[in-house]
Amino acid sequence: MTKFFDRLGISIYYILIFIIVCIGLFLRIRLYLHQLPVWHDEVALSLNIFERPIYKLFYTLHYSQAAPPLFLVAIKIITNIFGINILSLRFIPTLAGCSSLLLFIPVLQNTFKSKLPVIVALSLFAICGPLIYYSQEIKPYSSDVFFCILILFLINKINFNDKKNAIISSILCFIIPLCSFPSVFMMVAALGYKFLISEKKRKIKYSIYTGIPFCLSLFILWLINHGIHSYMTSFDDWDNGFLKFSFDSFIYIISNYIDYLGYYSVGTLLIFLVGIFICFFKKEETAVISVLCFIIVYFASVFHLYPFIGRASIFFAPIALLFIASIFENNFNEYKDKYLPKITMLLKYIIFLFLIVQSFNIVDSYNRVSDLDYKLQDGYKHERLEREKDIITILDNFKQGDEIVSTYELYIHILFYNIMNKYNYHIDLAFDCNKFDELKDMVSNENFNNFWIVETYNPRHDTSIDYEKEYETILNNAGVKYKKYENNATNIYYVENDNNK
């Protein structure tokens, strides 16, 4: 099969690439234009962008968020130009997602000498569910993928004999960590490798042009408390992404990661592992740097510096696909006799048969993203839309001076739509809606301000409690006037104090 692809005419080969790219771009742009409703992390990050001038985006963020400052600056500039709306907020992530697909082509062509692995890796990248979904989310995950690929693309173009090239390299070494946190791992691998293979007389020049600006960028991130470790180790959600230094833990995390990308099977797992081995002994620069990056990311996870799980590790997807595609490289002769035993060569073909048998996983991955009502981070799309409608109902009936009794997460959503839809109310959160004693104290005060009770499903709340019954019992016992809004996603009550009229 590999020989068949290698014998393809140039025109047919590029027609295949064109078709794959068109499919990938279509899926990304289609999802972007569909304007999926936002979820909590998008809302929280957007509020930081709304509420701050550009220079304050370099400060520690509010609402338990962290993102590269230059990523935020880019979105801020777009919203200043085109206004505050979903499309402008998601433009930079979508641009990064589409650019990643295009930039991945020359990286693959530089890495592989034959055509089949290029087609395989590009196809898997184009229809990968998480890569498509996060290409339109107001988070830096798609830009993380882009900068990972960009580093692989640029690393072999560094030439310190050319002064202009050296200056541009220095600027990029300073800027890229400010655009993408996980790019630090790729840069350490790439710059470290280039330093090791460079001649002794050039090591000093290399350190000056790349090491100093890179370290300065890391120092700035540390100063403004935007560091990777401080954010990613502060939430229990990421604990499963921290490995133990054991073979079982290693296999477990790799299996989960391949499954997250949508390509899990026993065959794919074996291909991934053999692919690491192949790339390690491969003389091509991109392949070796990819293996070094994998080693660095692995130890970063072992030492609890960064979690290797889910969306936090999606930046690693291009490297994972390089490993998987490397098994289809036909130029094994250069290292077969030197490095790989014959049993390994046999294993490759057995694994290839496994992948053919398990190829339906690729179809499943496409099906997950072709249906735009698929399950999202915090529920299905229609559930998010219902919450959005409920919030708009509140804001349409809101009066200046009203207070909110709600979960903190839902309060953040209310602030977001207050700005997005230009209501421009000053909205205060009185207390969390599960604090019934505080609600009793509030309505017992003759001079309480009018307020809204807004309660939605929250997994942190005690599911054994009937919140609707509790609210109505407290309000009825206090004898206060209230109106209940019949909604699908939330319980909404507007409590009015007649003394305020």
- 141-150 pLDDT tens trace: 999 999 999 9
Residue 349 CA: distances (Å) to CA of 187, 281, 306, 346: 34, 19, 35, 5
CA distance 19 to 23: 6
**The two structure tokens encoding residue 104:** 């991945």
**The two structure tokens encoding residue 430:** 């009185």
- Using an 8 Å Cβ cutoff, are 335 and 281 in contact? yes
Task: Assign 239 a pLDDT band (cuts: 50, 70, 90).
Answer: low
Q: pLDDT: is 151 or 382 the higher one? A: 151
DSSP single-letter state for residue 170:
H
Mean pLDDT, residues 48-56: 91
CA distance 37 to 58: 27
Q: pLDDT: is 42 or 227 the higher one? A: 42
- Output the average pLDDT for the chain: 79
Amino acid identity at 154: L
**HSE-CB for 14 with a 13 A CA cutoff:** 4
CA distance 357 to 374: 26
pLDDT of residue 236: 47
| CB contact set of 101 (below 8 Å; sequence gap of 6+) | 21, 24, 25, 28, 122, 125, 126
Minimum mean pLDDT range among 46-60, 76-90, 256-270, 388-402: 256-270
Residue 259 CA: distances (Å) to CA of 134, 300, 362: 16, 21, 11
pTM, two decimals, is 0.85
Q: What is the pLDDT of residues 170-203, one digit of tens each?
A: 888 899 999 998 899 999 888 888 878 777 767 7
CA distance 443 to 474: 8
- Using an 8 Å Cβ cutoff, are 63 and 47 in contact? yes
Minimum mean pLDDT range among 82-91, 156-165, 293-302: 156-165
pLDDT of residue 344: 55
Ranges of H-type helices in 1-128 = 2-6, 10-34, 40-51, 69-82, 86-89, 91-111, 116-126
The helix (H) or strand (E) run that includes residue 363 is helix 360-370
**HSE-CB for 157 with a 13 A CA cutoff:** 15
